[in-house]
A and B are shown apart, each in its own frame.
Chain A
Amino acid sequence: SAVISQKPSRDICQRGTSLTIQCQVDSQVTMMFWYRQQPGQSLTLIATANQGSEATYESGFVIDKFPISRPNLTFSTLTVSNMSPEDSSIYLCSVGLGGVNEQFFGPGTRLTVL
């Protein structure tokens, strides 16, 4: 298994600003994922962030809006840029363990944009 922490746990931001969310894992993992969970909805994959390569974004998500860094095997950041109220969501990171398709999730970051 893996223990994942996220910072911040929650934030309230003004529209037009940006927020960077950090995800820290207690072990080295190749695959990390960022999800968004909008109010009352399910989880939607934003992008896959593998160390040593550019993040792969899902349809509907672009790098300019959600830039991702993956500097090493235990850490990643997701930035929500030029925020609007529609970006109010819970953002979760998860990691996949090599050899299995199981994912472990962080506690999430609850973002409110005013």
Chain B
Amino acid sequence: AQRVTQPEKLLSVFKGAPVELKCNYSYSGSPELFWYVQYSRQRLQLLLRHISRESIKGFTADLNKGETSFHLKKPFAQEEDSAMYYCALTSASGSRLTFGEGTQLTVNP
């Protein structure tokens, strides 16, 4: 069974501080990992995925298969980063997404 765990429901940082949102997963295969974000009053949207190895809005995430983690990081948080962040997993061949519980990030001025 596939499972995604986000240990922090709430995370609060100050503007300009580094931020790390934790995500751990369990999956007996080669997963694809994603980070989705939901800003206030907006729909859920894809932030980034591990396959792309890209940085979006200053965020990066590295898949660590040894630690089964896919933590989301940004060196300098901005107030507009305040949102709900969901880590999600799917198998490499399928499209069934399993979501973590979500982390509400608040960036204070």
Which chain A residues have a beta carbon within 8 Å of chain B's beta carbons? 31, 33, 41-45, 48, 92, 94, 96, 101-108
Question: Chain A residue with minimal CB distance to B46?
Answer: A102
Contact with B95, one of A101, A107, A108 (Cβ below 8 angstroms): A101
Task: Write the B42-77 contact mask toward A (1 if CB under 8 angstroms, else 0).
Answer: 011110010000000000000000000000000000
Contact with B90, one of A92, A101, A104 (Cβ below 8 angstroms): A101
For A41, the chain B residues whose CB sits under 8 A away are 101
Give CA–CA (A103, B92) in the complex, Å: 14
Which chain B residues have a beta carbon within 8 Å of chain A's beta carbons? 32, 34, 43-46, 49, 86, 90, 92, 94-102
Question: Chain A residue with minimal CB distance to B34?
Answer: A102
Given contacts A41-B101, A42-B101, A42-B102, contact A105 B45 (CB under 8 A): yes
